[in-house]
């Protein structure tokens, strides 16, 4: 049995951006794996019906009998749906397309905004970090993630309109802070799919740093072929191509994340 390394309260971090394709799942999988190589015990909650974090960690979605949906809607316990992965120290609560139904079914549920928070409470202390890979929307699933989290990690793709939608995201956070989770804060902003050869990428990084300030991680995640290939092998890039500069970047991000945890 893998033991957690840090003591004190675990960090519950929602990886969030309502835009799709910005690197949420990629970051969820690879940051979790990189942290585990630093000795951390990590739980990744796949909260996106696409289930990319689940398959990215080598779990066959077709073979699952239960997923996060069953815990949210049918009161199955978190401990019953936590899976070990091929990456020692990384555990996952999987999602399948069934989770898409939860968005509607939750509407009429009791305590609908805090289901996830209640669900993870009994297992929280077993982990150093818990990540929630959010769906690309600001619906009830995302509200659940924001209610359960201590803070958020916002991946932003180095592209035109990078900051588009960010205001809306910050408004949702503000609403959750006022009504459900007073202490919610921003753990960090991560620039993804960075291509140093383009001046656009550098402009975007500057623009995002101007907007968010110090909360932007120093680490920039480069766009690499190995990062995009690794999910099809059900492996994090840190296992698939540990020497790749994408893997190195996720290790460097893991160090920054650990650093911020002790502040
Ligand atoms: P999201 O979870 O925000 O929808 P994903 O993490 O699924 O985004 O990433 C979208 C696509 O971009 C995926 O095909 C993924 O493999 C690819 N991708 C993400 N980050 C990188 C990167 N740093 N280099 C190359 N491809 C990447």
Mean pLDDT computed over 5-14 = 84
Three-state helix/strand/coil letters over the chain: CCCCCCCCCCEEEEECCCCCCCCHHHHHHHHHHHHHHCCCCEEEEECCCCCHHHHHCCCCHHHCCCCHHHHHHHCCCHHHHCEECCCCCEEEECCCHHHHHHHHHHHHCCCCCCHHHHHHCCCHHHCCEEEEECCCCCCHHHHHHHHHCCEEEEEEECCCCCCCCHHHHHHHHHHHHHHCCCCCEEEEEEEEEECCCCHHHHHHHHHHHHHHHHHEEEEEEECCHHHHHHHHHCCCHHHHCCCCHHHHHHHHHHHHHHHHHCC
pLDDT at 153 over 80: yes
Cα of 133 from ligand 1 centre, angstroms: 13
Mean pLDDT computed over 170-194 = 96
Q: Which residue has the higher pLDDT, 6 or 29?
A: 29
What pLDDT, on the 0 to 100 scale, is given for residue 71?
94
Q: Is the CB of 20 under 6 A from ligand 1?
A: yes
Residues above pLDDT 70, as percent of the chain: 99
Q: Mean pLDDT, the chain, as a whole number?
A: 94
What pLDDT, on the 0 to 100 scale, is given for residue 1?
63
pLDDT at 263 over 90: no
Cα of 157 from ligand 1 centre, angstroms: 9
Tell me whether residue 107 is in a domain: yes
Q: Residue 24 sits in a domain of what CATH number?
A: 3.40.50.300
Q: Is the CB of 25 under 6 A from ligand 1?
A: yes
What pLDDT, on the 0 to 100 scale, is given for residue 136?
95
ipTM: 0.99
Tell me whether residue 6 is in a domain: no
Over the stretch 17-38, which tens digit does the pLDDT of each residue have?
999 999 999 999 999 999 999 9
pLDDT at 9 over 80: no
What pLDDT, on the 0 to 100 scale, is given for residue 67?
95
Cα of 22 from ligand 1 centre, angstroms: 6
Cα of 228 from ligand 1 centre, angstroms: 6
**How many domains does the chain contain in total?**
1
Over the stretch 56-88, which tens digit does the pLDDT of each residue have?
999 999 999 999 999 999 989 999 999 999 999
pLDDT-based confidence at residue 130 (cuts at 50, 70, 90): very high
Q: Report the residue among 46, 228, 246, 253 best suited for mutation to probe ligand 1: largest number of ligand atoms under 8 A from its CB.
A: 228
pLDDT at 169 over 70: yes
Tell me whether residue 1 is in a domain: no
Cβ pair 140, 1 in contact under 8 A: no
Tell me whether residue 39 is in a domain: yes
Atom 26 (ligand 1) nearest CA: 228
Over the stretch 204-244, which tens digit does the pLDDT of each residue have?
999 999 999 999 999 999 999 999 999 999 999 999 999 99
Tell me whether residue 115 is in a domain: yes
Tell me whether residue 178 is in a domain: yes
Tell me whether residue 106 is in a domain: yes
Structural domain of 41: 11-261
Tell me whether residue 3 is in a domain: no
């Amino acid at each position: 049995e893998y033991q957690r390394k840090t003591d004190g309260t675990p960090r519950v971090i929602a990886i969030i951006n309502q835009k799709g394709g910005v690197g949420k799942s990629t970051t969820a999988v690879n940051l979790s794996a990189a942290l585990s190589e630093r000795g951390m015990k990590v739980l990744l909650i796949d909260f996106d019906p696409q289930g990319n974090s689940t398959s990215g960690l080598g779990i066959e979605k077709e073979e699952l009998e239960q997923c996060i949906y069953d815990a949210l809607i049918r009161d199955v316990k978190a401990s019953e749906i936590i899976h070990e992965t091929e990456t020692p120290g990384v555990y996952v609560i999987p999602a399948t397309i069934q989770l898409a139904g939860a968005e509607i079914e939750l509407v009429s549920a009791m305590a609908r905004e805090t289901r996830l928070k209640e669900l993870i409470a009994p297992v929280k202390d077993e982990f150093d970090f818990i990540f929630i890979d959010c769906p690309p929307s600001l619906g009830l699933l995302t509200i659940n993630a924001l209610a359960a989290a201590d803070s958020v990690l916002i991946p932003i793709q180095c592209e035109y309109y990078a900051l588009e939608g960010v205001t809306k995201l910050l408004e949702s956070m503000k609403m959750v802070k006022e009504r459900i989770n007073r202490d919610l804060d921003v753990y960090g902003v991560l620039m993804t799919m960075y291509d140093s050869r383009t001046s656009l990428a550098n402009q975007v990084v500057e623009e995002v740093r101007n907007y968010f300030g110090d909360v932007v991680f120093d680490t920039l995640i480069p766009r690499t072929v190995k990062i995009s290939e690794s999910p099809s092998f059900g492996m994090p890039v840190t296992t698939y191509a540990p020497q790749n500069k994408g893997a190195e970047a996720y290790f460097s991000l893991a160090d920054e994340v650990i650093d911020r945890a002790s502040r």
